[in-house]
Structure 1
């Protein structure tokens, strides 16, 4: 484990050696140049103090033509008291002795890009603000050269805004635009180059002034410089005392790798999540899901942990062709003021794909290259197959050093879910059925992490460290914030609401991760009014929200057709209570310590009051769930899955219809075919799952039957899985057997 810590420390030391030069300047800048209101005019008196830009490093502005690079560059150079270089005017035209437009006419597009690239490759400067041309990033060699000299800042302006600006400037063609290619298409094509080279993105929303952009650039560069500013703490940490004693702060890459804090708590950001301004959110209205995800995640993940260009590659891999719907997470009108957020278009047909197509790539990037890792998860239905599928998409090198084991209740999930999980086993992933319920599986994973003798044994024998991909891992939870924000933006883009109008969200809730992600979306600036927590008969969360009493005494898990929320111990509740209590780790540790020993706890009145301000909760019976599926199908032709039907039933009772409510559709109904067919009043239901899916398909329902599930069921017959008794030591032994076959012993 020491080796792992050293690896992460070396990465951060290397980052700091690059950015330390910037900090001296930043502190000077803070003292010399107090921040003005966004609309304040630039003060000429600021020029009285000269300041070079971080020694010999440059600040390099990149973006499409019309993004404002030249104007913004001049403002920044005045603020910093350093030289400004415009590549068009100060490099190209001086070298060629002709105007850029004349040169383009003489040599044509392709030759122009090559000669422009050569000119930039032969150019060098230091301590300057450099405004690139819009086409510089299309030449790889010149960008590699210029990037070495400083920080590349991408001025990200929406294509429609660029087109409007260029029309005002009477520019009807740009470099690289051939006959028959629209301006919009060439701007879209260029985005891949800007994403490839940028260190910092500054989102330039419509209506923003050049002065405001310059201020945002300096703010983002300051964040880029300070790799120690974004740290994480345990929900059970007695901060600041424990923090000062332990001394070593945790960063994003640490919490991705470690999963669970050493004191049994969950990692949360020490500071509040960044908040986007209304105009910044509005600037994402026309963006794709991938573009929205990248902007939001770049705000939450420091580039010292995952560089922006690499994060962009990961986001595009995660939400590419492996999703059946191009919109990834579309919002559909259901009825009245109710809208459905479809989260089942991923390869394993559940909302877990929204995070688990992304998280494995983050994990593989953050871990050291010289250590093996075992990712161990507990699942109540959908997580297991999503984890196995996500980690199976890593490259071959990463799959050899990352093994995945999924623990699931052998008889506690639907037949199709079980078949899918077994079918998703690959060369680096296995499923183990446990003869118990989900809570036992989840408890076993936590015990695995906190058993120092066993974890030490795995490290010594197999060079293997542990991590988790359950929603206890921050990297599992963070991507879920994106789709809640995206749903709101879609409602605005569709003209259903105006930005700033409130919505409610209703989410079928078991482990509290999905609904907590919506809470984080609100903290980042999405106007969510109420969080409607929907439970089935296992309604411990309903009781907590209504009374403040979390009581597991004499409560037994009741199996249902909505198996993913058949949960009594909600892991992510701990994160929410930490947030509500103002980061009071001592209180959280007391509450969950009492839960572990006495099997219940009571929230303090002030914490309960804050909870009830934002949350309402309800539950429905199995019969009511099935009746809702039948009613919605008869009315709309749309089939809800059992979990979404729970949420719909609760929303009907609790939501006051004064604003739209977005209901999370968390898993495709095909996974629960017997229950759906029962709800549709089919008298004879064949036992064969494939026959059940074909029967559902015959209804020509909306949404259509998930084709990937049919393929998985065919594959399942060729595979086997391990089954284990409800005994922690037996599970530990089974895990070691798997590791013996995947990782060689360390000698």
Structure 2
């Protein structure tokens, strides 16, 4: 057996699977804090390895030597020090002697016999294809994936006169076999290090060490409330919140929203450029791995969840394609998911993250308030959980009974499953959202549910941090697509225009900019519920004597913009006391005003405009007449505002947040069709007859066809009624605790 004796201790972290741990029901995150605190003072020392993994040509051998030199520990190259020593011949000779298939088998046997500790190990490019061998190696340390763009690898191999690699069958291109191998690297890695084409081995080695340090120290990635003060945080270090905690809790105990204490990770220009050729799933994996600490969700598990979320559930191979509209305007199509809105990007992902992080000993009821699209997206996402998870996780969706489009309503009712229900409320979205916030902060009620039914409440609205992260990905991906299409060189700025009511989509774009995407301005587009437009222009947020106006773009029919709080916290230099003062004033007096300095910072980032109902419909008609493309009502709002506010000095990306099929009645009216059948399915068939771009959303059409029983519960705008609905659902789905 090949064995390396350790010369110098090497401090590394091992992982604990949160989902296998049972947390206390009354405080479901307490154990998370306990084990992380324990880990920080009991890190394993002296018997772990840093294991470098990646395709041939990634630089594993060279980087491994530099890392070993910096750490003063042994370096093992599997090719040179294990395989050639074992076989007593060179790797190339062995490959010629036995062929690819036998070579891989011999390589597997050698890897299973290998043992080392306290070392830096460089694997072969094909080692990760051996499950048993990798399981053996993984037990000895932390696996670092050197992720190099395929085009760079091919260029390096060509310069080394290598035109075939191990396992490459006749007729299979080098590009295809490299792409095939990525699935194995995704499966085994603990850490990913992005390596662009012009990055030196010395820089890669430093990135490896930095990544290992991050892996060791989850204490650096805690979350705080937007209403907490610095003094409170410094005095209460024992109550750290981590990603898994805030995913479960949703809303902070003081009524604020959770944000990362140290901000979001920054990507270098080279790191972003290394993702230009990447698929949407690959981009999502890279970005989210940097935002979710592996102590909460291991990188390989996170990658698996991302594939589950986006692999087959979206009806476009590019997931979030960017389409040229006219001039320097581009559409970011966010409606290719199963429920035809941008909400699918978060809500195909979050349920699986949630199921992984919550304790097995507790039932969870996820509460949602929606102004339209969120409801069906949440219901669909949570209904796709594994059966064992659906037995302990249910979702209840509250929506304004008369405040969504007929198709949205039919879709929400049709998406009801055994663990997912919709409740219509005789009020508007703001009431639904406020009611859920009040329920979460009602400790007597939540405590009663815990004791009586063994059930805790959680949130899946955009107030939950995990809802925002996937939105950051598609803003970054849209920019990279424009670079890939040759529209702009990397580093050139773009503007974005986003229809918004709750500010989450705009905030995600601003976060993408903080992470290194060159977004110059965010244009906020409102409909006639233009409270955000007024605020961005004046600094006054005023709800007094303002009533919600039902419009053709119901997802923007919002007056209380929740995620604005996170943005104000950011530009106010994390002054939680100021944020608390502003929102207390909004709650008690119906308005607040920010100072001139804060308004100046805000207006450096944001401009805003609003669109009337007539202009919205006119834009749909105009775009269809000139291009054959149909905008949905929300995208039309953004198109109108973009036309008015963009300065045309750089491209502008308009977020197309929903498919027009969801608003067929308004679209038919915009297209000036006189006789309209009130049946939603008939409306979609009529639209399809116009051969529009994009085609009618088939997933939505199928849902409407088979929606069956349209019964759903409707309740009055009364807190006690909503609480009663919640208890009734719990009684029917979860067992009572005796």
Give the structure-2-normalised TM-score.
0.95
Q: Name the SS of the counterpart of 1:554 in structure 2.
A: coil
* Aligned position for 2:455: 464
Q: How big is each residue's C-alpha offset from its partner over 1:189-215, in whole Å with a ceiling of 9 and x where there is no partner?
A: 111111111100001111111111001
Instruction: Say whether residues 1:311 and 2:302 are aligned partners.
Output: yes
* Aligned position for 2:88: 97
Residues of 2 paired with 1:12 and 1:156: CA distance?
Answer: 32
* Aligned position for 1:735: 726
* Aligned position for 2:119: 128
* Matching of residues 330-349 of structure 1 within 5 Å: 330-349=321-340
Instruction: Say whether residues 1:403 and 2:394 are aligned partners.
Output: yes
Query: How many Å apart are 1:18 and its aligned residue?
Result: 6.4
* Aligned position for 1:680: 671
* Aligned position for 1:580: 571
* Aligned position for 2:684: 693
1:138 to 126, 129, 135: 129
Q: How big is each residue's C-alpha offset from its partner over 1:312-369, in whole Å with a ceiling of 9 and x where there is no partner?
A: 0011111111101000000001011110000000000000001111111111111111
* Matching of residues 344-363 of structure 1 within 5 Å: 344-363=335-354
* Aligned position for 2:427: 436
Indicate if the aligned counterparts of 2:190 and 2:298 stay in contact, CA closer than 8 A: yes
Instruction: Say whether residues 1:600 and 2:555 are aligned partners.
Output: no
* Aligned position for 1:491: 482
Instruction: Say whether residues 1:3 and 2:42 are aligned partners.
Output: no
Residues of 1 paired with 2:706 and 2:732: CA distance?
Answer: 23
Query: How many Å apart are 1:725 and its aligned residue?
Result: 0.6
Q: Name the SS of the counterpart of 2:84 in structure 1.
A: helix
Indicate if the aligned counterparts of 1:237 and 1:243 stay in contact, CA closer than 8 A: no
Query: How many Å apart are 1:734 and its aligned residue?
Result: 1.0
Q: Name the SS of the counterpart of 2:114 in structure 1.
A: coil
With over 3 angstroms needed to count, the CA separation of the structure-2 counterparts of 1:10 and 1:111, relative to structure 1, is farther
2:499 to 485, 497, 508: 508
With over 3 angstroms needed to count, the CA separation of the structure-2 counterparts of 1:6 and 1:102, relative to structure 1, is farther
Residues of 2 paired with 1:496 and 1:242: CA distance?
Answer: 45
Instruction: Say whether residues 1:281 and 2:302 are aligned partners.
Output: no
Residues of 2 paired with 1:66 and 1:336: CA distance?
Answer: 42
Residues of 1 paired with 2:33 and 2:92: CA distance?
Answer: 44
Query: How many Å apart are 1:427 and its aligned residue?
Result: 0.9
Q: Which region of structure 1 is more displaced relative to structure 2, 183-192 or 115-124?
A: 115-124
Q: Name the SS of the counterpart of 1:3 in structure 2.
A: coil
Q: Name the SS of the counterpart of 1:216 in structure 2.
A: helix
2:98 to 86, 98, 107: 107
Q: How big is each residue's C-alpha offset from its partner over 1:425-472, in whole Å with a ceiling of 9 and x where there is no partner?
A: 111000000000000100111011011111001101111111111000
Indicate if the aligned counterparts of 1:503 and 1:659 stay in contact, CA closer than 8 A: yes
With over 3 angstroms needed to count, the CA separation of the structure-2 counterparts of 1:120 and 1:607, relative to structure 1, is same
Residues of 1 paired with 2:155 and 2:42: CA distance?
Answer: 39
Residues of 1 paired with 2:578 and 2:369: CA distance?
Answer: 26
Residues of 1 paired with 2:684 and 2:30: CA distance?
Answer: 51
With over 3 angstroms needed to count, the CA separation of the structure-2 counterparts of 1:14 and 1:119, relative to structure 1, is farther
Residues of 2 paired with 1:191 and 1:538: CA distance?
Answer: 47
Indicate if the aligned counterparts of 1:20 and 1:225 stay in contact, CA closer than 8 A: no
Instruction: Say whether residues 1:149 and 2:140 are aligned partners.
Output: yes
Q: Name the SS of the counterpart of 1:559 in structure 2.
A: coil
* Aligned position for 1:656: 647
Query: How many Å apart are 1:562 and its aligned residue?
Result: 0.4
Q: Name the SS of the counterpart of 1:705 in structure 2.
A: coil
Query: How many Å apart are 1:239 and its aligned residue?
Result: 2.5
Q: Name the SS of the counterpart of 1:155 in structure 2.
A: strand
Residues of 1 paired with 2:200 and 2:41: CA distance?
Answer: 30
With over 3 angstroms needed to count, the CA separation of the structure-2 counterparts of 1:454 and 1:289, relative to structure 1, is same
With over 3 angstroms needed to count, the CA separation of the structure-2 counterparts of 1:119 and 1:14, relative to structure 1, is farther
RMSD: 1.4
With over 3 angstroms needed to count, the CA separation of the structure-2 counterparts of 1:239 and 1:555, relative to structure 1, is same
Indicate if the aligned counterparts of 2:472 and 2:508 stay in contact, CA closer than 8 A: yes
* Aligned position for 2:180: 189
Residues of 2 paired with 1:147 and 1:2: CA distance?
Answer: 27
Residues of 2 paired with 1:392 and 1:83: CA distance?
Answer: 50
Query: How many Å apart are 1:105 and its aligned residue?
Result: 2.1
* Aligned position for 1:56: 47
Query: How many Å apart are 1:22 and its aligned residue?
Result: 6.1
Indicate if the aligned counterparts of 1:60 and 1:150 stay in contact, CA closer than 8 A: yes
With over 3 angstroms needed to count, the CA separation of the structure-2 counterparts of 1:18 and 1:77, relative to structure 1, is farther
Q: Which region of structure 1 is more displaced relative to structure 2, 662-671 or 112-121?
A: 112-121
* Aligned position for 1:366: 357
* Aligned position for 1:248: 239
Q: Which region of structure 1 is more displaced relative to structure 2, 159-168 or 107-116?
A: 107-116
* Aligned position for 2:696: 705
* Aligned position for 1:565: 556
Query: How many Å apart are 1:106 and its aligned residue?
Result: 2.3
Indicate if the aligned counterparts of 2:24 and 2:30 stay in contact, CA closer than 8 A: no
* Aligned position for 1:539: 530
With over 3 angstroms needed to count, the CA separation of the structure-2 counterparts of 1:257 and 1:663, relative to structure 1, is same
Indicate if the aligned counterparts of 2:224 and 2:241 stay in contact, CA closer than 8 A: yes
Query: How many Å apart are 1:246 and its aligned residue?
Result: 6.9
Residues of 1 paired with 2:200 and 2:236: CA distance?
Answer: 46
Query: How many Å apart are 1:8 and its aligned residue?
Result: 4.6
Question: How many positions carry a matched residue from both structures?
Answer: 717
With over 3 angstroms needed to count, the CA separation of the structure-2 counterparts of 1:438 and 1:7, relative to structure 1, is closer
2:416 to 410, 417, 425: 425
Query: How many Å apart are 1:735 and its aligned residue?
Result: 1.0
Residues of 1 paired with 2:585 and 2:36: CA distance?
Answer: 42
Q: How big is each residue's C-alpha offset from its partner over 1:537-569, in whole Å with a ceiling of 9 and x where there is no partner?
A: 100000100000000000000000100000000
With over 3 angstroms needed to count, the CA separation of the structure-2 counterparts of 1:17 and 1:72, relative to structure 1, is farther
With over 3 angstroms needed to count, the CA separation of the structure-2 counterparts of 1:154 and 1:652, relative to structure 1, is same
Indicate if the aligned counterparts of 2:25 and 2:450 stay in contact, CA closer than 8 A: no
Structure 2 unpaired stretches of 5+: 1-21
* Aligned position for 1:40: none
Residues of 2 paired with 1:621 and 1:567: CA distance?
Answer: 15
Query: How many Å apart are 1:109 and its aligned residue?
Result: 1.8
Instruction: Say whether residues 1:449 and 2:440 are aligned partners.
Output: yes
* Matching of residues 126-275 of structure 1 within 5 Å: 126-242=117-233, 244-245=235-236, 247-275=238-266
Residues of 2 paired with 1:151 and 1:610: CA distance?
Answer: 43
Q: Name the SS of the counterpart of 2:24 in structure 1.
A: helix
2:514 to 498, 508, 523: 523
Query: How many Å apart are 1:17 and its aligned residue?
Result: 6.3
Give the structure-1-normalised TM-score.
0.94
Indicate if the aligned counterparts of 1:12 and 1:227 stay in contact, CA closer than 8 A: no
Q: Name the SS of the counterpart of 2:723 in structure 1.
A: helix
With over 3 angstroms needed to count, the CA separation of the structure-2 counterparts of 1:13 and 1:729, relative to structure 1, is closer
* Aligned position for 2:539: 548
Residues of 2 paired with 1:544 and 1:252: CA distance?
Answer: 31
Query: How many Å apart are 1:242 and its aligned residue?
Result: 4.8
* Aligned position for 2:406: 415
Q: Name the SS of the counterpart of 2:76 in structure 1.
A: strand
Indicate if the aligned counterparts of 2:26 and 2:450 stay in contact, CA closer than 8 A: no
Q: How big is each residue's C-alpha offset from its partner over 1:101-148, in whole Å with a ceiling of 9 and x where there is no partner?
A: 222222222222122111111111111101111111111111111111
* Aligned position for 1:324: 315
Query: How many Å apart are 1:715 and its aligned residue?
Result: 2.3
Query: How many Å apart are 1:620 and its aligned residue?
Result: 1.1
Indicate if the aligned counterparts of 1:243 and 1:249 stay in contact, CA closer than 8 A: no
Q: Name the SS of the counterpart of 1:448 in structure 2.
A: helix
With over 3 angstroms needed to count, the CA separation of the structure-2 counterparts of 1:350 and 1:736, relative to structure 1, is same
